[in-house]
Amino acid sequence: GEEVAQTPKHLVRGEGQKAKLYCAPIKGHSYVFWYQQVLKNEFKFLISFQNENVFDETGMPKERFSAKCLPNSPCSLEIQATKLEDSAVYFCASSQSGGYNYGYTFGSGTRLTVV
């Protein structure tokens, strides 16, 4: 399809619980990106993939966050032992050529609320 599909739309977790978010990129797009959007609209880059390989993970809090993009499966972002500060909207995006000419196509996001 021509849209990036993110599931679930909303996720509520108690502090310390695990959260797992999913993203199906557009077919044919070889790059996948995860961003975190916090209350003041700030977009924080988390991680990017080129096909199933990690391309850039400089934004990932590695002690609790992990991500995968395996062949023939949706990409996933997992947060172990969630904290209140993890409450945000998590966006996945994909692109054909790394961003030039076509930009990124974003999904509608997963709103994570940690209580």
Partner 1 sequence: QQQVKQSPQSLIVQKGGISIINCAYENTAFDYFPWYQQFPGKGPALLIAIRPDVSEKKEGRFTISFNKSAKQFSLHIMDSQPGDSATYFCAALWGATNKLIFGTGTLLAVQP
Stretch that binds partner 1, among 14-22, 33-41, 64-72, 79-87 (CB under 8 A): 33-41
Nearer to partner 1, 17 or 59 (CB): 59
Cβ-proximal residues to 39 (8 Å cutoff; 6+ apart), any chain: 88
CA distance 70 to 68: 6
DSSP at 54: E
Shortest Å, Cβ 87 to partner 1 = 16
- Smallest CA-to-CA distance from 19 within 60, 55, 67, 74 is with 67
Shortest Å, Cβ 25 to partner 1 = 13
Write out the residues near partner 1 by the rule CB under 8 A: 4, 31, 33, 40-43, 45, 48, 50, 55-56, 91, 93, 98-100, 102-109
